[in-house]
């Protein structure tokens, strides 16, 4: 009850920020990010776009990878319209395709740029029937998790190299969701069965499972970074539920009441981007790794997301999947 009250009121937590804080507010303590280069997936709209806008406004070089280069160029133009001196690059990337992820990583590294921040923000929710990626992976899992897993793996060397050369700690931010706690059961069994059409496809379960994978990835990656001695951290964030246009034709007292209640729970996009930006650049997070953040403060993930054993198991399964890259996968989890 107390936590809900703090959320509704926007009361600041230990970080000094809360649910009503915006991305611009949490980056006010670090107004000059001119020495940083950031890759932000899913930056053509929504939370990712706001994250890109704010970091560019603070001076960071922003790389926008996108499946639609036109949408990315439009976003670049919007940022330059507000910040004419901004440094924004656009590169093609389809996260659902492992080949595309590899092409993007090769192309970025060939540019010879440093890499300080990797923000794995892009997300997909499949409203229709089961769809498989070109690699034979359930599409939501492929886009929200597996593509980011490979992207992070391929860019980790560049991030560690940049941190060592510049003395600036690298940061990886995985954008998850509190919805990760909705998934029940064994993720490996679910992925195998749904991919082979042995069970009905449930879009919400698929989304929740992909977000659970984001949290588990963060946990295992944090441990591996520490073992490597790399000056790079990784944290996972729940941005909150974003306010969207609700039905304007609502009628009746009950519907109006639901509308009012929901409007108090949902965030604006600037508020939803706050935790991502906080994890990416705020000085308070220096040296902090392997945490789950919500409303710019540390929070507890679901019990399923807290298991190092499951995190290690997912990591190995992910290595198997990116190695197989087959339209007829035969993964043994």
Q: Which residues are catalytic?
A: 201
- Three-state SS for 130? coil
| φ and ψ of 331, to 5 deg | -80, 140
Residues 6+ apart with CB under 8 A from 288: 233, 235
Taking alpha carbons only, the member of 279, 287, 234 closest to residue 21 is: 279
Q: Hey, what are 185's tokens?
A: 């059961």
Residues 6+ apart with CB under 8 A from 166: 35, 114, 116
Q: Where are the beta strands (DSSP E) in the chain?
A: 37-40, 61-66, 88-92, 117-120, 170-175, 232-238, 292-294, 297-299
Radius of gyration of the chain (CA): 19
Cα–Cα separations (whole angstroms), residue 70 to 44, 77, 86, 90:
10, 10, 18, 9
Cα–Cα separations (whole angstroms), residue 252 to 1, 193, 258, 277:
29, 43, 10, 40
DSSP calls for 191-232: HHHHHTTSS---HHHHHHHHHHHHHHHHHHHHHHHHHHT-SE
Total Cβ atoms within 10 A of residue 33: 22
d(CA 179, CA 79) in angstroms, rounded, equals: 31
d(CA 50, CA 270) in angstroms, rounded, equals: 6
């Amino acid at each position: 009850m107390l936590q809900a009250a703090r959320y509704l009121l926007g009361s600041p937590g230990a970080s000094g920020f809360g649910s009503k804080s915006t991305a611009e507010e949490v980056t006010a303590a670090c107004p000059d990010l001119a020495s940083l280069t950031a890759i932000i997936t899913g930056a053509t709209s929504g939370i990712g776009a706001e994250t890109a806008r704010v970091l560019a406004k603070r001076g960071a070089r922003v790389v926008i990878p996108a499946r639609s280069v036109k949408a990315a160029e439009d976003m670049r133009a919007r940022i330059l319209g507000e910040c004419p001196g901004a440094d924004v690059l656009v590169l093609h990337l389809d996260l659902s395709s492992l080949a595309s992820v590899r092409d993007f990583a090769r192309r970025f590294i060939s540019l010879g740029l440093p890499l300080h921040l990797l923000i794995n923000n892009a997300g997909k929710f499949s409203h229709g029937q089961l769809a498989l990626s070109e690699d034979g992976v359930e599409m939501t899992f492929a886009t929200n998790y597996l593509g980011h897993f490979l992207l992070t793996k391929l860019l980790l060397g560049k991030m560690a190299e940049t941190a060592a050369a510049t003395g600036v700690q690298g940061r990886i931010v995985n954008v998850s969701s509190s919805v990760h706690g909705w998934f029940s059961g064994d993720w490996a069994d679910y992925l195998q069965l749904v991919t082979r059409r042995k069970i009905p496809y449930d879009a919400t379960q698929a989304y929740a499972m992909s977000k659970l994978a984001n949290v588990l990835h963060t946990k295992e990656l944090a441990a591996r970074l520490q073992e490597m001695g790399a000056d790079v951290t990784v944290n996972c964030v729940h941005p909150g539920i974003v306010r969207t246009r609700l039905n304007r034709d609502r009628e009746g007292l009950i519907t109006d009441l639901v509308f009012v209640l929901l409007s108090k729970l949902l965030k604006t996009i600037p508020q939803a981007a706050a935790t991502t930006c906080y994890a990416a650049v705020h000085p308070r997070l220096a040296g902090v790794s392997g945490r789950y953040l919500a409303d710019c403060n540390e929070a507890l993930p679901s019990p399923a997301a807290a298991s190092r054993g499951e995190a290690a198991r997912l990591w190995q399964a992910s290595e198997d999947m990116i190695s197989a890259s087959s339209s007829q996968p035969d993964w043994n989890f």
